[in-house]
């Protein structure tokens, strides 16, 4: 089984008080105790909106909260020293740290430049909308607050291939620079989806590629991160990251980097094509599975649960898949809002955490809640499933995905892990029961629902077969009764830690 379990270490609505790196250091022991092996940290560099920037409006890649730029020294999350200490804290707990990398665009340029450009039709970037003309574009990045420290390169319009604003006419449109063209090896939405926002980086310019590589060397040496989350890869030439990641791996040494790319599409064929076109170097988030979970949570019980993994990446390329339930972009109020409703969160997390396939990523807002949106943490069910994954998730898997309402699967356990294995049964509508098999290793053992939704005990026959029930619109995770006290202790320790944090 893939034992890697990732926490997305932020959500969009975090306060902009510059304390997040410090808070994560305090939370790190509990995060480790819950069974996470790695944490994905938000973009650490200065954004155009200063302390209000979540990190995706990239201004200065070299400013990790060190220089007075965009009205602040600290980023939304804190200062550089806090960031480096946060990474060190997780490393000291033998956890991996993954950095968020945004290479699609820059925002917040320091100066305008006159550039010849042509307007493109908004929903078809293969079609020009008029003749070329001179515009004033915000494309010159001098980083005066940093004053050349670490790197003195000045970014100009030559490093970009388009913008979405003409300062001269105060006009918003998609402008491509004359003499340049959009990258061809990108997503085909809008005809060509190279351009997304801001000043779009031109990966055909050797200096642009060289500077991003220089920054990568500096950043890897500075932070010693264990991998990367790559933002907006559908908008960047599909082969760009091959050399960039090869260089980072060379700098890291023999220990392999873990990398996941965000290709936001629910079309399986596009994800498969990207994996192949990008050299099968890293995993992708399973966006099709997320949308299946979203639909199941919002279809009033009408979703066919037997099809929950149909046309998902994890069903076709599990080794190249990172599964997730929600993230910072899907939470309420964001551009990609597709929030999995709370009543279905436990089922959704079972479908990611308690499966053999894929690398699961848990959302910070589900673990800790989102107070500004009155979203409560998923709570005990999520923490219990994290523990079950780590302690009991061993052996072969047998699926019972054969009913539109009630589905299940078992992990059979193995000899190396005492009392391992479990049975999962869940529904989005009417409850029921399923006869499911673990293995003869578990024959005659008594099983209980560790989530507490069912109170009876199930004794397996000598072949390890039992009939497991589930309530309406609910989930039950059946584990060997012998681990009951271990689970109670786990939750008790977690509860004490939470109480201490609130004092």
- CA angle 109–233–211, rounded 5-degree value: 45
Helix H segments across 195-332? 206-223, 240-252, 268-277, 287-297, 313-316
Q: CB–CB of 10/20 below 8 Å?
A: yes
- Among 53, 63, 66, 262, the active-site one is 262
Q: What stretch of H or E contains 164?
A: strand 160-166
CB pairs under 8 A, 24+ apart, for 345-348?
345/297, 345/378, 345/381, 345/382, 346/378, 346/381, 346/382, 346/385, 346/426, 346/451, 346/474, 346/475, 347/296, 347/426, 347/427, 347/428, 347/475, 348/293, 348/296, 348/297
Q: Are strands 105-106 and 397-400 parallel, antiparallel or unpaired?
A: unpaired
Active site residue 262: yes
How many angstroms separate the Cα of 99 from the Cα of each of 197, 257, 286, 339, 375? 21, 11, 19, 24, 26
Q: How many CB atoms are located within 10 Å of the residue 51 CB?
A: 20
Query: How far, in Å, CA of 141 to CA of 17, rounded?
Result: 26
- Among 202, 226, 231, 286, the active-site one is 231
Query: How far, in Å, CA of 245 to CA of 243, rounded?
Result: 6
Q: CB–CB of 219/241 below 8 Å?
A: no
Tokens at 359, concatenated: 């690398």
374 CB-near residues (< 8 Å, 6+ apart): none
299 CB-near residues (< 8 Å, 6+ apart): 428
Q: Please say whether the dihedral angle defined by the alpha carbons of residues 191, 196, 199 and 203, taken in this order, is positive or negative.
A: negative
463 CB-near residues (< 8 Å, 6+ apart): 437, 440, 443
Query: How far, in Å, CA of 289 to CA of 181, rounded?
Result: 34
Comparing C-alpha atoms, which of 244, 189, 246 is closest to residue 213? 244
Q: CB–CB of 450/384 below 8 Å?
A: yes
Active site residue 266: no
CA 386 to chain CA mean position, Å: 17
Query: How far, in Å, CA of 342 to CA of 375, rounded?
Result: 9
Q: CB–CB of 280/380 below 8 Å?
A: no
Known catalytic residues are 231, 262
């Amino acid at each position: 089984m893939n034992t890697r379990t990732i926490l997305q270490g932020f959500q969009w609505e975090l306060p902009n008080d510059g304390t997040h790196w410090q808070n994560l250091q305090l939370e790190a022991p509990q995060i480790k105790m819950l069974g996470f092996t790695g944490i994905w940290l938000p973009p650490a560099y200065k954004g155009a909106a200063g302390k209000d920037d979540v990190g995706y409006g990239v201004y200065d890649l070299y400013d990790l909260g060190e220089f007075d730029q965009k009205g602040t020294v600290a980023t939304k999350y804190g200062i550089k020293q806090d960031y480096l200490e946060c990474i060190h804290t997780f490393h000291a707990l033998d956890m991996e740290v993954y950095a968020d990398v945004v290479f699609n665009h820059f925002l917040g340029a320091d100066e305008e430049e006159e550039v010849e450009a042509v307007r493109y039709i908004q929903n078809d970037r293969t079609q020009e909308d008029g003749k070329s003309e001179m515009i004033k574009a915000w494309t010159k990045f001098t980083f005066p607050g940093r004053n050349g420290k670490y790197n003195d390169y000045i970014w100009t319009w030559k490093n970009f291939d388009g913008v979405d604003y003409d300062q001269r006419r105060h006009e918003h449109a998609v402008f491509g620079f004359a003499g340049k063209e959009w990258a061809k090896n990108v997503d085909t939405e809008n005809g060509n989806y190279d351009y997304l926002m801001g000043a779009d980086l031109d990966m055909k310019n050797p200096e642009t590629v060289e500077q991003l590589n220089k920054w990568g060397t500096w950043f890897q040496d500075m932070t010693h991160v264990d991998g990367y989350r790559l933002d907006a890869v559908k908008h960047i030439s599909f082969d760009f990251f091959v050399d960039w990641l090869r260089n980072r791996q060379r700098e890291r040494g023999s220990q392999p980097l873990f990398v996941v790319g965000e290709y936001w599409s629910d079309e399986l064929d596009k994800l498969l094509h990207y994996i192949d076109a990008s050299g099968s170097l890293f995993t992708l988030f399973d966006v099709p599975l997320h949308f299946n979970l979203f639909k199941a949570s919002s279809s009033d019980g009408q979703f066919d649960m037997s099809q929950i993994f149909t046309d998902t990446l994890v069903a076709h390329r599990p080794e190249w898949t990172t599964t997730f339930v929600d993230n910072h972009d899907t939470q309420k109020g964001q551009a990609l809002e597709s929030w999995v409703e709370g009543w279905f969160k436990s089922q959704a997390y079972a479908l990611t955490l308690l499966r053999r396939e894929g690398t699961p990523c848990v959302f910070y807002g589900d673990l800790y809640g989102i107070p500004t949106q009155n979203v409560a943490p998923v709570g005990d069910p999520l923490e219990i499933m994290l523990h079950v994954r780590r302690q009991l998730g061993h052996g072969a898997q047998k699926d019972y995905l054969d009913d539109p309402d009630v589905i299940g699967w078992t992990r059979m356990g193995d000899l190396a892990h005492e009392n391992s294995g479990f049975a999962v049964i869940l529904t989005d509508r009417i409850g029921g029961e399923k006869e499911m098999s673990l293995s003869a290793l578990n024959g005659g053992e008594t099983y209980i629902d560790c989530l507490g939704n069912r109170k009876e005990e199930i004794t397996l026959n000598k072949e390890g077969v039992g009939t497991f029930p589930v309530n309406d619109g609910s989930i039950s995770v059946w584990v060997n009764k012998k681990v009951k006290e271990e689970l109670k202790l786990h939750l008790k320790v977690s509860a004490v830690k939470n109480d201490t944090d609130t004092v």
